[in-house]
């Protein structure tokens, strides 16, 4: 690895994996550490964050775990304080946590709606509120929020889609608010990633359909999201803020007709 994040301190939220497949947060924490960052792996379930921190330590990186429910202000404050206390500064905040409820407006309960919005959107306000002052002390920082193509396309999950559209909105707003403080705020818009959030409801045929839905025709993993996060976190992205970066094998540029032509191999 090239040490692109050498000397930097990062927090990754949702740094564990909710299943046996590699999660986006876990992959991001691992690549941040491989690139030289010291990483606070935060998760509501500390044993999951601990697994990621242990995997990083095993390959010689610097990481530790922290238990944090990102929908709670006190937890977010304690998480930021722990990162600064353990590693001396804070440069990177990867707001990776996201949960989904498969429901339309007729089905969703008020409690489900509030929980998705609290975990996926309010969390970004809470983590950033405590992180930005420390980033400013260090001369600036990079905040990376994880959205989804579900924020741009219907996804049979209205609470999730709404929250992921809000992640794009808050990213742009924060980029405008905090640029002069040296804080860059960008978001990644993952496509049809094969990871723990979706693997449980997927058979081989559906995996293949998802693969074929994009121009590249290949399956994405947590590593694809993690490499984009490394770039946005690094000084190489010093002039980039307010961006919503699709990492989706081109899924968003496809139309149903292009899809049909690709299926028939007529180019």
C-alpha 10/C-alpha 228 separation (Å) is 15
Contact (CB, 8 A) for 104 and 158: yes
In sequence order, the 6+-apart residues with CB closer than 8 A to the CB of 264 are none
Using rule CB under 6 A, residue 79 touches ligand NAD: no
Using rule CB under 6 A, residue 99 touches ligand NAD: yes
Number of residues in contact with ligand NAD, rule: CB under 6 A? 30
- Judged by CB under 6 A, the stretch of 85-93, 94-102, 128-136, 259-267 that binds ligand NAD is 94-102
Query: Please, what's the b/e burial string for 14-32 (b: 16 or more CB within 10 A of its CB; e: otherwise)?
Result: bbbbbeebbbbbbbbbbbb
Least separation in angstroms between residue 139's CB and ligand NAD is 28
Of 58 and 201, which CB lies nearer to ligand NAD in the complex structure?
A: 201
- Cα torsion through 133, 7, 223, 94, rounded to 10: -10
Using rule CB under 6 A, residue 230 touches ligand NAD: no
In sequence order, the 6+-apart residues with CB closer than 8 A to the CB of 13 are 25, 42, 43, 68, 70, 79, 93, 94, 95, 96, 97, 123, 127
Nearest-CB residue for ligand NAD: 98
Among 17, 65, 142, 214, binds ligand NAD (CB under 6 A): 17
Q: Which residue has the tokens 């992205």?
A: 237
Helices 73-87, 123-137: inter-axial angle, 10-degree rounding: 30
- Judged by CB under 6 A, the stretch of 68-76, 134-142, 201-209, 238-246 that binds ligand NAD is 68-76
Using CA atoms, how far residue 120 sits from 13, 38, 140, in Å, is 11, 25, 24
Of 98 and 141, which CB lies nearer to ligand NAD in the complex structure?
A: 98
Among 51, 69, 94, 224, binds ligand NAD (CB under 6 A): 69
- Judged by CB under 6 A, the stretch of 18-26, 175-183, 205-213, 234-242 that binds ligand NAD is 18-26
Among 4, 76, 84, 98, binds ligand NAD (CB under 6 A): 98
Residue span 170-199 as binding mask against ligand NAD, x where in contact by CB under 6 A, dash where not? --------------------x--x-xxxx-
Using rule CB under 6 A, residue 18 touches ligand NAD: yes
Using rule CB under 6 A, residue 48 touches ligand NAD: yes
Using CA atoms, how far residue 89 sits from 126, 136, 169, in Å, is 18, 10, 28
Task: Look up residue 263 and give its two tokens.
Answer: 């299926």
Interface residues toward ligand NAD, by CB under 6 A: 13-14, 16-18, 23-25, 43-45, 48, 68-71, 96-99, 119, 146, 148, 190, 193, 195-198, 222
């Amino acid at each position: 690895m090239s040490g692109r994040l050498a000397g930097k301190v990062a927090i990754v939220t949702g740094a564990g994996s909710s299943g046996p497949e590699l999660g986006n947060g876990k992959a991001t924490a691992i690549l941040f550490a491989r690139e030289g960052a010291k990483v606070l792996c935060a998760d509501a379930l500390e044993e999951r964050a601990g697994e990621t921190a242990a995997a990083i330590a095993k390959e010689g990186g610097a990481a530790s775990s922290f238990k944090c429910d990102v929908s709670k202000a006190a937890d977010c404050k304690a998480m930021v304080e722990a990162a600064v206390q353990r590693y001396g500064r804070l440069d990177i905040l990867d707001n990776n946590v996201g949960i989904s409820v498969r429901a339309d407006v007729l089905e969703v309960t008020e409690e489900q709606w509030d929980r998705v919005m609290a975990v996926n959107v309010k969390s970004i306000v809470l983590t950033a509120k405590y992180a930005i002052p420390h980033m400013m002390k260090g001369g600036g920082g990079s905040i990376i929020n994880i959205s989804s193509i579900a924020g741009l396309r219907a996804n049979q999950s209205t609470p999730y889609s709404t929250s992921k559209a809000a992640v794009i909105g808050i990213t742009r707003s924060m980029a405008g608010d905090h640029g002069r403080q040296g804080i860059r705020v960008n978001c990644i818009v993952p496509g049809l990633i094969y990871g723990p959030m979706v693997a449980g409801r997927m058979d081989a045929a559906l995996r293949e359909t998802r693969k074929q839905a994009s121009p590249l025709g290949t399956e994405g993993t947590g590593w694809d999201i993690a490499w984009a996060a490394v770039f946005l976190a690094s000084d190489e992205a010093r002039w980039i803020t307010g961006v919503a970066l699709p990492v989706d094998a081109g899924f968003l540029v496809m139309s149903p007709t292009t899809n049909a032509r690709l299926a028939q191999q007529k180019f």
